[in-house]
Structure 1
Amino acid sequence: MLTTDEAFRKFKSRLELNDREQQNASTRQNEVRDYLVTKFAIANSFLTGSYKRHTKTKPLKDIDIFFVLKDSEKDYKDKAPSVVIGDFHKALVDKYGEKAVRKQARSVNVDFGVVVDAEDNTEYRILSVDVVPAFASGDDYEIPDTDNGKWIKTNPKIHADKATAAHQAFSNEWKGLVRMVKYWNNNPRHGSDKPVKPSFLLEVMALQCLYGGWQGRFDYEIEGLFSTLADRIFDTWADPAGLGPPISDGMDATRKQRARDLLLAASREARSAINLAKQGRNGDALKAWRTLFGPKFPLS
């Protein structure tokens, strides 16, 4: 039987991107790009977000693709952000169909209709992408934000650099722990509404909530992380790049209270699993961790 540490290391490995998944993501990006360059003047496009930072969890969905528009499309900047989102939505509906395409505050989501099995496997295929219209602005980018009714600045490179620095400072275990907590956030036992939205907020919080250096125990780190996230969910969490609105603005007080309750419950469940292992009930401990996280956590 696996020890707790062996199970967590196997869990971490299962949540990491592999070559086949990266190839599928690249193929989908090129497919969408090859189509959209026939509809808009696009300077370049690139995969970004948590996928590029290696903090995306399984199953792989909502992978961000920035589509940097040429100066000839600058008229969009003089219009409401909803205009460019609407035009990208219409173009993508023409290719993928109304049911597969959905407007979001800063992007257009395209669902590829991939079925997820009971073990959260997708045959190495990504479920969906988020198409993000953007304009270059020096070293930064401007993207539409329909919630605020304006264009906002962002910088994916700064986000990636901060994640890399945090990972290195935590003995290269930071990204694995972030993926685990994001996977917990996706657990269907929470219902259709994730406890923490956007999931990027978990990553932003982990920049501060995972501190003190890696102590060598996944179980204790996870328990402490859940507890600290619960304690600080009501804090204001700024954009790590110092450009856009606070990442925590996506949750109101009611949502934050629900998230706090569920994060505290997760911390208690983690403590219970740790105690089961201490009692020599290793099989029960692994089952408890699997219940907490979901089917990617191994029992053997």
Structure 2
Amino acid sequence: MFNNLLAKRNRLIYFIQYSKLSSTMDKSSMIQKVKSYIPPLDGSSHKGQAGRIGIIGGSLEYTGAPYFAGISALKVGADLVHVFCTSSAATVIKSYSPELIVHPLLDHPNAVNDISPWLDRLHAIVIGPGLGRQNKTFEVVSELIKTIKSKNIPLVVDADGLFLITQNLDLIRNFNSPVILTPNKIEFERLCEKVNGYSELNKLGENIVVFKKGQTDEIFCASNVAQWKSNEGGSGRRCGGQGDILSGSIATFLHWMTSNEDKFNMSPADKSIASSISCFAASILVRKCNEKAFRIYGRSMVAGDMIEFIHEAFQELYGE
């Protein structure tokens, strides 16, 4: 009882402090907040506690994207990553890394029933990396989103997951758990067209945060105090896979930002702030990885080169 009251008091203090920040984000305060939620490496936790992340994506044509999202979640600090992909993608994804738990279930006849029991084990889910746009896959994923909603699991939607969501915004209506959409420029324009302008994005839902990626990263949501812009770091190199690294990183930070909270009783403002800080933490981390890799590889840099720098960039920003 006392611990719950103390946690709520701390959240209230932080909300008040955060509300006083200007629209230009106070980077130092945000980084300190991220640090306070990172699980300590003191031997007190058990396997899985630092994050069991789900990636729903991976198809015949696209096997790299779920790998990048999954391995990034692990490199940031999650303990386990489950990838739910089509049968044709599974062996390829497994060959990239033995660290990923790969489930070739997405195109099974009873895919929703086969995947749903696994969702109970997960702390956060990313939908979209390498998903493809097959109607059959979209039907399965639409049903899975409803299941994720009922289980109150924090959700990150990227890539072809955004294409699905933009076609049917009702899929993310009335979520009680945090939902983060991560569109690039084209995806953002498509989403804005659907809702009749970017000024309407804050009406998508009180627990929904839109993280627009680009030369300047930017947050759009219903809570004014959770919005920010940042163009720090990075480079001019825009190789494929960077968005997947970002989405996997966001999922791990999002779990950390909500793991000590009562997810059902968090206020919409709390959820928006948790989502916003998770996006910020991942944004500056991935931009720093990009910057470091570009210094060495220049125009030849690919997303895999950035993975090598996650530990170094994390240490510089957040310590151990």
Q: Same fold (TM over 0.5)?
A: no
Report the TM-score when normalising by structure 2.
Answer: 0.29
**Between Structure 1 and Structure 2, whose CA radius of gyration is higher?**
1
